[in-house]
Amino acid sequence: MATEFEKKYRLTEKLYEDLAARLADIGAHYEGEEEEENTIFELTALIGKPAVLRIRSVGDKTLLTFKRRLASDTGVKHQIEFETEVSDRAAVSGIIGELGLAPNVIYEKRRRTWRLADVEVVLDTLPFGLFMEIEGPIESIAEAERKLSIENLPVEARTYPNLTAELGKRVGDVIEARFEK
């Protein structure tokens, strides 16, 4: 079982730009920028526990991910996560559909990624706002917060699928958050 630990923060435009500059100043390694499309399938009715299946497309790459949130008393999310790259998005979508699942949420995201010691720091742009996530060991997340001088920055507890469900647009049976083209 793989467990993911991450912390998310909602950002203003100024804080987003300040953090991008601060990451460079403290020696974080910039790994690049990607555009994603994420399709979420709710699994609670199927497995009896809150969980999702996600298909993420990044360029020519497609990732299939299972996530189930674990209880946590802190601002750090604890999740079971299994992820694998798949070669054919259409085939995976077809298999999931044949299992009786339909997408609930679709959202797009632009992600800039840095590596800082043993954490990944990402600055995300979604159609409804700017965010930062820090993922890695719990102690290392706290250390990254100190280095970035954000120890008191409020945590965003909602997931991107939750935020999309609240702030997105209903298109048929799916709620979407897409960038205007």
pLDDT tens figures, 6-65: 999 999 999 999 999 999 999 999 999 999 999 999 998 888 888 999 999 999 999 999
Inter-residue contact 65 to 74 (CB < 8 Å) = no
Delimit the domains of the chain by residue range: 3-177
| AA letter at 101 | L
**Cα 29–chain centre separation:** 20
Return the number of other C-beta atoms located less than 10 Å from residue 88's C-beta.
Answer: 10
Phi-psi label, residue 129: left if phi above 0, alpha if psi -120 to 50, beta otherwise: left
What digits encode the pLDDT tens for the residues 50-93? Answer: 899 999 999 999 999 999 887 777 777 778 889 999 999 999 99
pTM recorded for the entire structure: 0.91
Query: CATH second-level architecture of 3-177?
Result: Beta Barrel (2.40)
Give the bridge partners for 68, in sequence order: 80
Residue 132: count of CB within 10 angstroms of its CB = 23
